Structure 1
Amino acid sequence: MKFLLTLLLLSFAGVATAQAQTAPTAASTASPDKNKELLLVDAACGQCRLGLPGKSCDLAIRMDGKAYFVDGTTIDSHGDAHAKDGFCNSVRKAQVQGEVADGRFKATYFKLVPEPAKAH
């Protein structure tokens, strides 16, 4: 009986953790503020593609030639970072709103621009 109870608790913990990791974050689901400029920026993994320091994969943008880590959304909120078109393997375009504070981009809106269809 103890074994079954432990197994049940671990199952619930695993489901809750998986949902927390895949749940969209505020900036990725918000609507843009019509009173603020919508910026088109490069978006990618800060460490893998934009030359920022660190040992894990974290979302970053490049704006006006400078890279910033992003707060308000995460690298995993926009698909598999290690997929062929993921942030660790390609630089994508994104529409964003927010501001730079303390050396980081504080996103209030973040949306990937669809990649153009490739001709066959």
Structure 2
Amino acid sequence: MKKLIFIFFLGILACANPKEKTQLVEASCGQCKFGLDSQNGCDLAVKIDGNAYFVDGAKIDDFGDAHDENIGFCNVVRKAEVTGKIEGNRFKASSFKIVEE
């Protein structure tokens, strides 16, 4: 019986998705500022633990003109509070909020 319970809980753990977490990250254009080259054009990316990931769930122009000299993601790296998780080589965002400094 103990083995059956152990196998049951092991199965649950194996099928569980990683939980989303909220964290403060750097956000910018993946191509212009973070050196990502896996896709063409300017796209929103975040840097988490030194690694850059393109973002699903938010777009680069959702926060103003991406090419604006002062706040555009193609010209500056900004701080953002994000909630989500990394899946594959992408960050799946359920919330994305710019933190003004």
TM tier, smaller: 0.7 to 0.9
| TM-score in terms of structure 1 length | 0.64
- Cross-structure match for 1:9: none
Matches within 5 A, 1:8-23: none
Which runs of 5 or more residues in structure 2 are unaligned? 1-19
Separation in structure 1 between the aligned mates of residue 33 and residue 75 of structure 2, nearest angstrom: 7
The one of 28, 31, 37 equivalent to 1:44 is 28
The one of 75, 88, 97 equivalent to 1:89 is 75
Q: Which runs of 4+ in 1 moved over 6 A?
A: none
- Cross-structure match for 2:10: none
Which runs of 5 or more residues in structure 1 are unaligned? 1-35, 116-120
Aligned length: 81
| TM-score in terms of structure 2 length | 0.76
Structure with higher strand content:
2
Q: Deviations over 1:3-50 (max 9, x none)?
A: xxxxxxxxxxxxxxxxxxxxxxxxxxxxxxxxx642000000000000
Q: Deviations over 1:38-78 (max 9, x none)?
A: 20000000000001003300000000000000000100111
Separation in structure 2 between the aligned mates of residue 90 and residue 80 of structure 1, nearest angstrom: 12
Q: 2:86–2:92: 8 Å Cα contact kept in structure 1?
A: yes
